[in-house]
Amino acid sequence: MKRINFTTVALLVYLLVIGFISWPGKNPQITFHEYWVIILITLGLIVLLRFVQIKRYKLREKRRKEEENASKK
């Protein structure tokens, strides 16, 4: 789980940095609507990735326990 948390935090920091760099007040080529759509889509993808990582981790742990039980018999 530590690896999943590290990945999530790293991606959130990346999102903050990119959000700061591309702030529409400093970059007149981007409108506020486009800015927030991009930020929210990216945030949604980070959350989706976290759920997928957690699901894969739980599945891996379940398989590991099944293999341990099978080897004990």
Report pLDDT digits (tens) over 10-24: 999 999 999 999 888
| Amino acid found at 45 | L
Considering the domain boundaries, does residue 15 fall inside one? yes
Considering the domain boundaries, does residue 22 fall inside one? yes
**């759920």: which residue's tokens?**
51
Task: Please tell me the distance from the alpha carbon of residue 7 to that of residue 49, in angstroms, as a whole number.
Answer: 9
Token pair, residue 6, equals: 């590290």
Full-prediction pTM beyond 0.75? yes
**């999530």: which residue's tokens?**
8
Confidence at residue 73, expressed as pLDDT on a 0 to 100 scale: 67
Q: How many domains does the chain have?
A: 1
Mean pLDDT value across the chain: 92
Higher pLDDT, 37 or 30: 37
Considering the domain boundaries, does residue 64 fall inside one? no
Range of the domain at 10: 2-55
Considering the domain boundaries, does residue 73 fall inside one? no
Considering the domain boundaries, does residue 71 fall inside one? no
Q: Is pLDDT at 46 greater than 80 in this prediction?
A: yes
Considering the domain boundaries, does residue 62 fall inside one? no
